[in-house]
């Protein structure tokens, strides 16, 4: 009897072990959240959310623009008549990096996340704030999470004195966003909150620069700005002023040492003026509000118009100049001499050269603003440094002037080339607006045709086949101009295959993505299988690499039964970076692609599809989760059947929904060889 009891006891333990392991092994929650509420005034409170993100994972901020990974979102459910949002939600430190899959600058949290939202209570009987949050966390796989929470509003008398918040410490101001969980109540949980907060504070002390503008993004902005300043130097408004300025310092300085010190102060003054402009722009709009503007539809449209005006000016239609009285006043102050006079000389340079530097500085500030933080300041530092150094060095070593080329028509050529480049850049901003509004006016083919026309015209200009106002008579072209023309012509030819579906990786960040296209197959595109949209099965479409794919399980299952093929479920997301990497790098393999096209029925279920389900198909799960969108439906399907919430997730099933892979029932982000072995095993087990 004791032996029988022990056997039953062991079996019971084994049962519970496997039951627990099966239900929890793959449900991943990489972000651990705590929340609290702080009193700011008699009616105002600040909701504060702190999250600890597991190592190697990153969570996307609301700053990640349209067309990129899934941005952070927050919705307040019981706001009307109960409370008001004061300003925008504020976000702690983030990182920004270019994503070559989506072609955007994605912004994300690593290690920690901090969100604050101030509210004003208008209903004294309000008990809780109800909110719902959507966010994405990625590593090798991505997880789309939806959090519903209820934060109790304590009576004013019970709220302790507030601690400094993001608002009071003047950190990043952003649009409404965040993630949160219920306010902690137990003493154990409070201890965890304090520990998490301590870890965040300790990590903060290690940061030397705001992460939202750190790393390669800041250096990229600085390098781009430096090149822009160097280009502006070789324009008709700036270049001729170099010998004039050097002559001034040579004649006015009593000694060589004084001339050198004055030249250095003059260069520093130029830098101070432009950096002050960067600080002014950041201060007026707010460090990260500029980022919000950079992804705003109307801002993009306005900047498109502004760039077209700047480009038209550079091409010679008219001159953009600041009021002449400004230059006169600066000159009057410069005549007084001394350090103040030198400072006003630098100011006079900035004013007089505005018609050439303004169209360069404007786009530079906006590009820097898209990074956020102090990027506009860093941008102006790089621009002004490139502009100031030649004035300083030539004033210090006047003999170097003999090595400079003489002013002439080539200066206008530089200006015209910049005009063509600004005109091309303008359509990037128009494309941003079109993508956000989904108007499909400026699809990929149209964008590329415009760029081909612009750079083709630039090549003809450089070869002397087109002349513009202010151009000098051209008897011959220089070797440098010839080389630049050849490079431009080669780039123009490089763009042409993009009309037929070529990826154009060199400019992937500029044109709309291939999916945003008049013809996803390219103009005149064809396939060896001769598959076209008229021959597609009901409910199917052409997916990556022209694979026939279904985005509804029912339609895909019906077709699989009709052709008697196994099903490959692809749990994916429109904003899933690693899903795109698998499609680009693994699905495209010459051994994998034929299998996906011919031997399985591919069903791609998008867990971040925000389209609402018909009312009659919406439901509430046993756990109390509301299934309201198509993405909710497929997320619930994935979690309930496969006990995971990660994407990409691949499953091969038979026509009854049974898994065909025994060793690995599901697979995620893997290399081509492992994926191919898994794929072949599942298909071979289909009966």
Q: What is the pLDDT of residue 281?
A: 64
Question: Is residue 530 scored above 60 in pLDDT?
Answer: no
Supply the pLDDT for residue 299.
73
Structure tokens at 73: 């979102």
- Strand-pairing partners, residue 129, are 151
Average pLDDT for the chain: 74
Token code pair at residue 201: 């504070």
The answer on pLDDT for 466 being more than 70 is: yes
CB 159 within 8 A of CB 38: yes
For residues 330 and 305, the model is more confident at 305
In the numeric block, which tokens belong to residue 621?
């799960």
**β-pair type (44-53, 112-121):** antiparallel
Q: Report the run of H or E that residue 485 belongs to, with start and end.
A: helix 479-495
Asked whether the predicted pLDDT for residue 162 surpasses 60, the reply is: no
Q: Residue 269, preceding bond cis, omega within 30 degrees? A: no
Residue 566 has pLDDT above 90, yes or no: yes
Q: Which residue has the higher pLDDT, 67 or 275?
A: 275
Give which of 644, 638, 636 is closest to 26, Cα–Cα. 644
For residue 532, the model assigns a pLDDT of: 46
Strand 112-121 and strand 540-542: the pairing is unpaired
User: What average pLDDT does this structure show over 404-425?
Assistant: 77
**pLDDT value, residue 367:** 67
pLDDT at 409: 65
H-helix segments, 324-408 = 324-334, 338-352, 354-369, 375-396
Higher pLDDT, 14 or 524: 524
Mean pLDDT on 336-348 = 66
User: Residues near 190 by Cβ (< 8 Å), separated by ≥ 6?
Assistant: 184
Kindly state the DSSP code that residue 629 receives in the 8-state scheme: B
Contact 132, 77 (CB under 8 A): yes
Structure tokens that stand for 186 in this block: 């137990």
pTM for the model stands at: 0.48
pLDDT at residue 322 in the model = 53
Of 644, 653, 656, 645, nearest to 685 by C-alpha is 653
Q: What is the mean pLDDT of residues 375-387?
A: 82
Neighbours of 95 (CB within 10 A): 20
Q: Give me the residue label for tokens 């949209």.
A: 533
Q: What is the pLDDT of residues 28-77, one digit of tens each?
A: 788 888 878 888 888 888 888 888 888 888 888 877 777 678 888 887 88
Region 201-208 average pLDDT: 37
Q: What is the pLDDT of residue 358?
A: 66
pLDDT confidence tier of residue 152, bands split at 50, 70 and 90: confident
Residue 171 CA neighbour count, 13 Å, CB half = 19
What was the pLDDT predicted at 438? 64
User: Residue 229 has what pLDDT?
Assistant: 79
Q: What is the DSSP letter of 612?
A: B
| pLDDT given for residue 68 in this prediction | 73
Nearest to 314 by CA among 513, 518, 470: 470
pLDDT at 232 over 50: yes
Q: How confident is the model at residue 306 (pLDDT cuts 50, 70, 90)?
A: confident
488 has a pLDDT exceeding 80? yes
């Amino acid at each position: 009897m004791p032996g029988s009891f022990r056997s039953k006891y062991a079996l019971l333990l084994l049962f519970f072990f496997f039951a627990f392991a099966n239900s929890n092994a793959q449900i991943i929650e990489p972000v651990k959240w705590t929340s609290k509420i702080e009193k700011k005034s008699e009616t105002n409170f600040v909701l504060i959310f702190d999250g600890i993100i597991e190592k190697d994972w990153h969570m996307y901020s609301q700053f990640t623009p349209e067309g990129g990974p899934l941005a952070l979102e927050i919705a307040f459910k019981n706001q009307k008549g109960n409370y008001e949002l004061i300003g925008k939600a504020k976000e702690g430190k983030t990182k920004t990096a270019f994503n070559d899959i989506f072609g955007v600058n994605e912004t994300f949290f690593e290690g920690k996340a901090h969100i604050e939202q101030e509210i004003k209570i208008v209903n004294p009987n309000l008990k809780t704030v109800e909110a719902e949050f959507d966010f994405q966390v990625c590593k090798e796989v991505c997880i789309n999470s939806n959090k519903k929470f209820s934060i109790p509003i304590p009576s004013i008398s019970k709220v302790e004195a507030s601690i400094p918040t993001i608002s009071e410490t003047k950190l990043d101001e952003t649009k409404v966003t965040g993630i949160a969980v219920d306010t902690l109540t137990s003493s154990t949980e409070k201890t965890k909150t304090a520990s998490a907060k301590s870890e965040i504070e300790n990590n903060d002390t290690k940061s030397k620069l705001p992460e939202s503008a750190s790393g390669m993004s800041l250096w990229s902005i600085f390098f781009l700005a430096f090149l822009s300043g160097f280009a502006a130097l070789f324009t008709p408004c700036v270049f001729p002023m170099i010998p004039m300025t050097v002559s001034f310092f040579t004649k006015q300085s009593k000694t060589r040492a004084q001339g050198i010190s004055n030249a250095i102060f003059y260069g520093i003054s130029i830098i101070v003026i432009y950096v002050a402009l960067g600080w002014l722009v950041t201060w007026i709009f707010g460090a990260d509000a500029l980022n919000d503007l950079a992804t705003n539809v109307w801002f993009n449209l306005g900047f498109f118009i502004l760039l077209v005006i700047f480009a038209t000016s550079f091409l010679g239609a008219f001159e953009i100049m600041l009021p002449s009285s400004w230059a006169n006043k600066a000159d009057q102050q410069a005549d007084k001499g001394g350090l103040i006079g030198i400072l006003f000389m630098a100011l006079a340079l900035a004013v007089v050269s505005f018609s050439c530097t303004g169209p360069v500085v404007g786009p530079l500030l906006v590009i820097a603003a898209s990074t956020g933080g102090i990027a506009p300041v860093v941008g102006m530092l790089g621009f002004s440094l490139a502009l100031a150094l030649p004035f300083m060095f030539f004033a210090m070593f006047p003999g170097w002037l003999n090595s400079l080329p003489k002013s002439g028509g080539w200066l206008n050529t530089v200006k015209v080339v910049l005009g063509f480049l600004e005109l091309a850049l303008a359509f990037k901003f128009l494309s941003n607006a079109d993508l956000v509004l989904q108007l499909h006016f400026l699809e990929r083919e149209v964008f590329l045709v415009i760029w081909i026309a612009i750079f083709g015209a630039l090549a003809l200009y450089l070869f002397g086949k087109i002349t513009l106002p202010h151009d000098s008579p051209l008897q011959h072209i220089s070797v440098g101009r010839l080389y630049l023309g050849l490079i431009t012509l080669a780039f123009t030819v490089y763009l042409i295959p993009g009309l037929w579906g070529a990826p154009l990786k060199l400019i992937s960040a500029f044109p709309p993505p291939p999916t945003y296209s008049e013809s996803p197959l390219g103009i005149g595109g064809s396939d060896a299988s001769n598959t076209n949209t008229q021959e597609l099965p009901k409910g199917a479409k052409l997916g990556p690499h022209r694979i026939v794919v279904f985005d509804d399980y029912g339609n895909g299952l019906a077709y699989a039964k009709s052709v008697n093929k196994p099903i490959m479920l692809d749990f994916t997301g429109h904003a899933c970076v690693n899903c795109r990497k698998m499609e680009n790098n693994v699905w495209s393999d010459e051994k994998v692609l034929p299998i996906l096209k011919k031997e399985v029925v591919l069903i791609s279920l998008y867990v971040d599809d925000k389209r609402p389900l018909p009312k009659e198909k919406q439901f509430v799960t046993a756990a109390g989760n509301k299934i309201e969108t198509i993405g909710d439906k497929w997320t619930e399907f994935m979690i309930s059947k496969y006990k995971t919430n990660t994407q990409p997730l691949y499953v091969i099933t038979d026509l009854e929904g049974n898994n065909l892979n025994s060793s690995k029932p599901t697979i995620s982000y893997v290399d081509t060889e492992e994926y191919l072995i898994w794929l072949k095993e599942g298909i071979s087990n289909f009966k």
